[in-house]
């Protein structure tokens, strides 16, 4: 296999050139896909790297979890309230709420589509959609009021799989934080809404605002790109975001919320990105299910503590960054190592 020289800015880079009829170069541009649906030019990439949330013209310009907790404590606000205040510095409250609601509407619709479709997903691996059949079994149990020891995990998993089967099939998903990790955050929120009769639209908004605050910290101080740091940066970040959001709407304090995010991220450290055939199907779909389960476990553990813990979220994020930098490129979305090369070709 011929090795293609890596562009300097980011592993996911593409160089475009325009030539005249004699082969002379007329124009050249370089673009990078840096995760979460963001595509920037090489010039824009430098601006993104040098920008810091701490310099933003907002009421609470936190760039890391430590500053976020200090600001929350000093102001007597939740993390969702901090994030809301920052967003409302540029966006009116009604428009902000409408935007957040639209995000959840898209996420929820994606779950519903995933639960209603079956068949073989495109791409050549002949991976069968499973979410519809699993959901039918779970719904039958639900109608019979049949409680099983695995019920919570089953519902979490089927919601996450539904979203990522949609992603694998080219459906519409919300990149939160990325396409490959799009199932975790919707699954945990849908699970909360199903099992909590008292849930409200305010819960949905607080969940997503809290998750966004944690995702911003991870993206700024490390990465959410599987091509850059492996799947710990995708599903690991998604799990941390979901854990924080769930802890928040269950009544967790800011320190408990930060603890929940740290627990979820810590237990994804070192996770490689090894998609079989370069497709976001194996092991990616099931991996989102496990990320959702870990998020709920992390939130539960944090809620049962007082927020005091040995490893702060900032240290965990930095560890994830360092681990990603040390990880061989063969384990970062290239499909050149790991499960991708040990998958039987039959």
Lowest mean pLDDT among 8-12, 78-82, 95-99, 266-270: 8-12
Q: What is the DSSP letter of 3?
A: P
283: cis peptide before it, omega within 30°? yes
Structurally, the chain folds into a number of domains equal to 2
25 lies in the same domain as 125? no
pLDDT tens for residues 27-56?
A: 888 888 877 777 888 777 777 776 788 878
Tokens describing residue 324:
């990603």
Largest CA distance in the chain: 74
Report the Cα–Cα distance between both ends of the chain, in Å, rounded: 22
149 lies in the same domain as 272? yes
28 lies in the same domain as 159? no
245 or 17, which is more confident: 245
Q: Residue 293: count other Cβ atoms within 10 Å of its Cβ.
A: 21
289, pLDDT greater than 60? yes
CB 101 within 8 A of CB 205: yes
Identify the pLDDT of residue 258.
98
213 lies in the same domain as 123? yes
Question: From CA 34, how far away is CA 45, in angstroms rounded?
Answer: 9
38 lies in the same domain as 57? no
Last residue of a domain, one of 51, 66, 87: 51
Question: From CA 173, how far away is CA 185, in angstroms rounded?
Answer: 11
33 lies in the same domain as 61? no
Identify the pLDDT of residue 346.
47
Say if strands 13-19 and 39-41 run parallel, antiparallel, or are unpaired: unpaired
Instruction: Report the chain's mean pLDDT, rounded to a whole number.
Output: 93
191 lies in the same domain as 310? yes
The model's confidence at residue 333, banded by pLDDT at 50, 70 and 90, is confident
125 lies in the same domain as 165? yes
Identify the pLDDT of residue 44.
75
Last residue of a domain, one of 51, 66, 81: 51
Domain with 31 in it: what CATH number?
3.30.1330.90
pLDDT tens for residues 127-163?
A: 999 999 999 999 999 999 998 989 999 999 999 999 9
- Quick one: which H or E segment has residue 31? strand 25-33
- Quick one: which H or E segment has residue 233? none
Q: Which domain covers residue 259, as residue numbers?
A: 52-342
187 lies in the same domain as 210? yes
Residue of 152, 197, 170, 155 whose CA lies nearest to 113: 170
Identify the pLDDT of residue 165.
98
CB 210 within 8 A of CB 178: no
Tokens describing residue 184:
């975790």
pLDDT tens for residues 176-188?
A: 999 999 999 999 9
Instruction: Give percent above pLDDT 70 in the chain.
Output: 97
Strand ordering across the sheet containing 39-41: 13-19, 25-33, 39-41
345, pLDDT greater than 70? no
Last residue of a domain, one of 11, 28, 51: 51
297, pLDDT greater than 50? yes
pLDDT tens for residues 186-198?
A: 999 999 999 998 8
Identify the pLDDT of residue 162.
98
pLDDT tens for residues 210-238?
A: 999 999 999 999 999 998 999 999 999 99
Q: Note the pTM of the prediction, 2 decimals.
A: 0.92
Question: From CA 181, how far away is CA 266, in angstroms rounded?
Answer: 17
3 lies in the same domain as 74? no
Question: From CA 34, how far away is CA 31, in angstroms rounded?
Answer: 9
Residue of 126, 121, 125 whose CA lies nearest to 170: 121
pLDDT tens for residues 49-100?
A: 767 888 789 999 999 999 999 999 999 999 999 999 999 999 999 999 999 9
199 lies in the same domain as 336? yes
Question: From CA 131, how far away is CA 118, in angstroms rounded?
Answer: 8
Give CA angle at 224 (342, 153), nearest 5°.
Answer: 65
Tokens describing residue 119:
């068949």
CB 243 within 8 A of CB 249: no
284 lies in the same domain as 270? yes
Identify the pLDDT of residue 4.
62
């Amino acid at each position: 296999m011929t090795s293609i020289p890596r562009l300097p800015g980011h592993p996911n880079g593409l160089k475009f050139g325009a030539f005249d009829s004699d082969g002379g170069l007329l124009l050249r541009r370089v673009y990078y896909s840096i995760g979460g649906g963001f595509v920037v030019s090489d010039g824009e990439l430098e601006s993104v790297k040098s920008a810091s949330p701490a310099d933003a013209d907002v009421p609470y310009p936190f760039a890391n979890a430590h500053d976020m907790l200090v600001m929350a404590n000093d102001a007597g606000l939740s993390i969702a309230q901090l994030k809301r205040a920052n967003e409302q510095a540029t966006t009116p409250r009604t428009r902000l709420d409408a935007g957040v609601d639209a995000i959840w509407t898209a996420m929820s619709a994606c779950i519903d589509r995933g639960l209603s479709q079956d068949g073989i997903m495109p791409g050549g691996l002949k991976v069968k959609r499973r979410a519809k059949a699993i959901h039918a079994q779970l719904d039958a149990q639900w109608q019979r009021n049949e409680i099983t020891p695995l019920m919570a995990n089953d519902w979490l998993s089927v919601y996450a799989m539904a979203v990522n089967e949609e992603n694998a099939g080219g459906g519409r998903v919300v990149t939160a934080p990325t396409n490959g990790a799009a199932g975790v955050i919707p699954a945990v929120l849908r699970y909360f809404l199903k099992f909590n009769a008292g849930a409200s639209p305010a819960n949905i908004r607080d969940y997503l605002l809290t998750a966004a605050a944690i995702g911003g910290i991870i993206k700024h101080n490390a990465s959410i790109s599987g091509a850059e740091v492996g799947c710990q940066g995708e599903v690991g970040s998604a799990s941390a975001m979901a854990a924080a959001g769930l802890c928040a709407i269950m009544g967790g304090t800011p320190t408990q919320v930060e603890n929940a995010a740290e627990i979820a991220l810590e237990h994804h450290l070192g996770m490689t990105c090894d998609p079989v055939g370069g497709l976001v199907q194996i092991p990616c779909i099931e991996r989102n299910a496990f990320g959702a389960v870990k998020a709920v476990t992390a939130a539960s553990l944090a809620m049962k503590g007082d927020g005091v813990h040995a490893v702060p979220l900032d240290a965990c994020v930095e560890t994830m960054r360092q681990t990603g930098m040390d990880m061989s490129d063969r384990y970062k979305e290239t499909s050149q190592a790991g499960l991708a090369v040990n998958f039987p070709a039959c």
